[in-house]
Amino acid sequence: MNQIIIIGKGPAGISAAIYLKRAGVDPIVIGKDLGALGDYKSSIENYYGFDTPIDGKKLIQDGIKQAFSLGVRILDDTVISIKDNGSHFLIITKNETLETKSVLLATGKTRENLTIPGYRKFRGKGISMCATCDGYFYRRKKIGIVGCGQYMKHELEYLSRMTKDITIFTHGNNLDEDLGFPIIDERIVEFGGTDKIGFVKTEKGTHEVDGLFIALGAPSSLEFANQLGLIVEKGNLLVNQEYQTNVPGIFAAGDIIGGKLQIAKAVYDGMEVADYIYKYLKDINKKMA
Ligand SMILES: Cc1cc2nc3c(=O)[nH]c(=O)nc-3n(C[C@H](O)[C@H](O)[C@H](O)COP(=O)(O)OP(=O)(O)OC[C@H]3O[C@@H](n4cnc5c(N)ncnc54)[C@H](O)[C@@H]3O)c2cc1C
């Protein structure tokens, strides 16, 4: 029986795997892709120790390589479901079923990929996926946020500290709430500008912006939460101070538990949760002996 299976090979999952392995526990890590930073070239400028921008994708790959060279088993696979069997958990992937005494959910947050004309062109050129990463560049500027759920509100809360000139674009979704900022609820038909985004065109009008933040989508962990009866609060998995969910043996760390959606925080979470998983396993193994 496996001691711990980590779902996610991003900064949270890999950091936890490194600390666990070095503490003498053998984790298995399962990841379907490179996570938040995997799908396109992003340059990271706020991570400790690098004085020039670094390639986000390479940073993630280097972390995986580091864990691998320590002897961590890393599976390229997609987890379809998790079943609580009372005494242990079943992890059902596309390729196999694994048994484990504990699980770490480090599945990050799913960011929506839009097909609106101009989206690809201006992504990274005024269109941002991360308020905490890029909000600072838009102090007192005119910005937009695309979204309508908890994720949008999370980003709005942060961005409203940088500027008061914010327009919310729901892209055709209903948002019957006064959030203190104008809400445009028509569908977006185009993102335009010259070398950088300059406007958002909706079905009925054109709105100038200096920058645009995309906050659509839901945490990928939500399905697992439903399967296991985990408590979700404002789109995040609820954990206690020891990173335990409400189901004993299921831990969560990184973007999916909310807070700062940043690499440094995910790495920190991974380090911390490793300690609590170690203690949890020690306790249950003692009881089983
Ligand atoms: C465009 C962009 C730019 C960013 N820029 C910065 C920046 O400049 N500085 C900064 O600090 N942060 C930045 N971030 C945020 C940072 O990338 C995240 O905070 C960090 O990656 C979170 O780490 P994580 O391990 O929680 O999740 P992720 O890195 O998202 O990793 C999630 C992992 O879970 C796996 N997974 C999910 N579901 C399944 C499943 N069903 N089965 C198997 N595996 C699964 C994925 O494959 C992946 O391996 C940026 C994010 C984006 C999207």
Q: Which domain holds residue 161?
A: 119-214
Q: Are residues 102 and 232 located together in one domain of the fold?
A: yes
pLDDT > 70 in the chain, percent: 95
Centre of ligand 1 from the C-alpha of residue 230, in Å: 21
**Token duo for residue 153:** 């509100």
Question: Is residue 82 very low, low, confident or very high in pLDDT (cuts 50, 70, 90)?
Answer: confident
For the CA of 134, the closest atom of ligand 1 is: 8
Q: Which of 193, 214, 235 is the last residue of a domain?
A: 214
Q: Are residues 163 and 248 located together in one domain of the fold?
A: no
Q: Are residues 133 and 258 located together in one domain of the fold?
A: no
CB proximity list for 253: less than 8 A, separation 6 or greater: 12, 13, 16, 104, 105, 106, 239, 243, 266, 269, 270, 272, 273
Mean pLDDT of 126-145: 89
Q: Are residues 246 and 176 located together in one domain of the fold?
A: no
What integer pLDDT is reported at residue 218 of this predicted model? 42
Q: Which of 192, 214, 236 is the last residue of a domain?
A: 214
Measured CA to CA, the distance from residue 87 to residue 10 in angstroms comes to: 28
Pick the more confident residue, 157 or 103: 103
Task: Give the count of domains, the chain.
Answer: 2
H or E, element range at 172? none
Q: Which of 188, 214, 240 is the last residue of a domain?
A: 214
Question: Is residue 6 very low, low, confident or very high in pLDDT (cuts 50, 70, 90)?
Answer: very high
Measuring from atom 53 of ligand 1, which residue has the nearest CA?
36
Measured CA to CA, the distance from residue 122 to residue 125 in angstroms comes to: 5
DSSP result, 196-261: SEEEEEESS-EEE-SEEEE----BTTHHHHHHHT--EETTEE---TTSB-SSTTEEE-GGGG-S--
Mean pLDDT of 42-66: 91
Measuring from atom 19 of ligand 1, which residue has the nearest CA?
262
Q: Are residues 23 and 93 located together in one domain of the fold?
A: yes
Mean pLDDT (the chain, rounded): 91
Ligand 1: residues within 6 Å at CB? 7-13, 30-33, 35-37, 42, 44, 46-47, 78-79, 106-108, 111, 129-130, 133, 220, 254-255, 261-264, 266
- Token pair 């203190």 is at which residue? 180
Q: Give the CATH number, domain containing residue 234.
A: 3.50.50.60
The 3-state DSSP class for residue 95 equals coil
Q: Are residues 185 and 243 located together in one domain of the fold?
A: no
Q: Are residues 159 and 278 located together in one domain of the fold?
A: no
Taken in order 75, 220, 85, 97, the sign of the CA dihedral is: negative
Task: State the alpha helices, DSSP H only, in the chain.
Answer: 11-22, 56-69, 119-122, 131-134, 150-159, 222-228, 263-288
Q: Are residues 222 and 210 located together in one domain of the fold?
A: no
pTM: 0.78
Mean pLDDT of 257-268: 95
Centre of ligand 1 from the C-alpha of residue 38, in Å: 8
For the CA of 260, the closest atom of ligand 1 is: 19
What integer pLDDT is reported at residue 273 of this predicted model? 98
Question: Of 55-69, 75-89, 199-213, which gets the smallest average pLDDT?
Answer: 75-89
Please check the confidence at residue 41 and state whether its pLDDT lies above 70.
no
**Token duo for residue 191:** 């993102």
pLDDT > 90 in the chain, percent: 69
255 CB neighbour count, 10 Å cutoff: 30
Q: Are residues 163 and 284 located together in one domain of the fold?
A: no
Residue 221 near residue 103, CB atoms below 8 Å: no
11-22 helix and 56-69 helix, angle to the nearest 10 degrees: 20
Q: Are residues 103 and 131 located together in one domain of the fold?
A: no
Euclidean distance between the first and the last CA atom of the chain, given in angstroms as a whole number: 14
Q: Are residues 203 and 72 located together in one domain of the fold?
A: no
Residues in the chain: 289
Q: Are residues 8 and 104 located together in one domain of the fold?
A: yes
Mean pLDDT of 167-186: 94
